[in-house]
Amino acid sequence: TLLVVAHSAVNRALIGSAIGVGPEGLNRLYQANCGISVLNFTAADRPAQLESLNLTAHTGQPLPPLRTGFKGPRLLLVRHGETEWNREKRFQGQIDVPLNDNGRTQAAQAAEFLRSTPIHAAASSSMLRPKETAEKILMYHPEVSLGLSEALWEISHGLWEGKFEHEIEADYPGMLAQWQSAPETVQMPEGENLQQVWERAIAAWQQLVERYSHRDTPQTVLVVAHDAINKAILCHVSGLGSDAFWQFKQGNGAVSVIDYPDGVNSLPMLSAANLTTHLSGSIFDMTAAGAL
């Protein structure tokens, strides 16, 4: 484990080069004073995984502060809490598995983490696990109604759904390794491919950004969805394609922050990603490494 302490521009250059964001995209990444980011390197010839970006809870600020002159909106992107199938590493996809007890605890911890953050609007996948997570968060924001969207549903794994990795390998030899190394090339049997997920996720995202722009007061919007959906959105706002799918980690109950500092027509800024300190107190993501 290596510690690197540097400056905003240097950190953004290091993080950007590690995950494939070029110099033209460094303004898409934000670094607050004393913000902590975690990168995981697996091989010299492969991009790093961004485990987390810009943790600031230890400074007394749960989320990075809004910058002077911020126009908005700010979107808080949350992954649903844990399910039994996450814990078992069973592929869920669009099977409507509810939260387990730990998932409900994670949702409550996310709610407490965001309790003092003004939230003006909220949207969620209409599946049970994100909907329950969103409802728990909004208990502290009773004036906010929750919009539900099928466009934010998890990727359809088709015939993989309900299966463990060893079962998938037995039924579809080599395909799981392809999914893990080149996910953008995989067509799920009787399910979706990442291009289809990208199209519906980014269309839903852009609709939310447009809807809550051009307001007298900058709006903060809660969005609760799934691993694949959130990764598609994080790739999109970072200027990366579906080949970068595995470069972003999304833990159950994690919070990411996407800002539009100069309004809807400006480049989005990834201000924080995969914040999980509210779940364990650690700077590292300690959530279940389950299947999608």
**Catalytic: which of 80, 120, 157, 236?**
80
pTM of the model: 0.97
CATH class of 61-280: alpha beta
Give the C-alpha distances (Å, rounded to integers) separating 8 from 12, 16, 196.
6, 12, 35
State both tokens at 264.
């809807």
In order, the DSSP letters of 2-18 are ------HHHHHHHHHHH
Q: What is the pLDDT of residue 154?
A: 99
**Positive or negative, the Cα torsion across 275, 278, 284, 289?**
negative
Q: What is the pLDDT of residue 292?
A: 75
40 in helix, strand or coil? strand
83 in helix, strand or coil? strand
Q: What is the pLDDT of residue 107?
A: 99
How long a stretch of residues is the chain?
A: 292
Q: What is the largest CA-CA distance in the chain?
A: 57
**Catalytic: which of 51, 82, 132, 154?**
154
**CB neighbours of residue 126 within 10 Å:** 16
Provide Rg for the chain, Cα atoms. Answer: 18
Please check whether residue 113 is in contact with residue 62, taking contact to mean a CB–CB distance below 8 angstroms. yes
pLDDT tens, N- to C-terminus, the chain (292 residues): 999 999 999 999 999 999 999 999 999 999 999 999 999 998 877 899 999 999 999 999 999 999 889 999 999 999 999 999 999 999 999 999 999 999 999 999 999 999 999 999 999 999 999 999 999 999 999 999 999 999 999 999 999 999 999 999 999 999 999 999 999 999 999 999 999 999 999 999 999 999 999 899 999 999 999 999 999 999 999 999 999 999 999 999 999 999 999 999 889 999 999 999 999 999 999 999 877 7
For the question of residue 154 being annotated catalytic, the response is yes
Query: Rounded to 10 degrees, what is the CA torsion of 232, 237, 243, 247?
Result: -80
In terms of Cα–Cα distance, which of 123, 148, 116, 109 is closest to 221? 123
Give the C-alpha distances (Å, rounded to integers) separating 85 from 194, 228, 246.
21, 15, 20
CA–CA separation, 243 vs 221, rounded Å? 28
51 in helix, strand or coil? strand
In sequence order, the 6+-apart residues with CB closer than 8 A to the CB of 138 are 111, 119, 122, 144, 146, 222
Q: What is the pLDDT of residue 126?
A: 99
Query: What are the extents of the domains in the chain?
Result: 61-280
In sequence order, the 6+-apart residues with CB closer than 8 A to the CB of 38 are 50, 51, 52, 55, 283, 284, 285
282, with CB counted inside 10 A (0-12, 13-18, 19+), is exposed
Q: What is the pLDDT of residue 44?
A: 76
For the question of residue 82 being annotated catalytic, the response is no
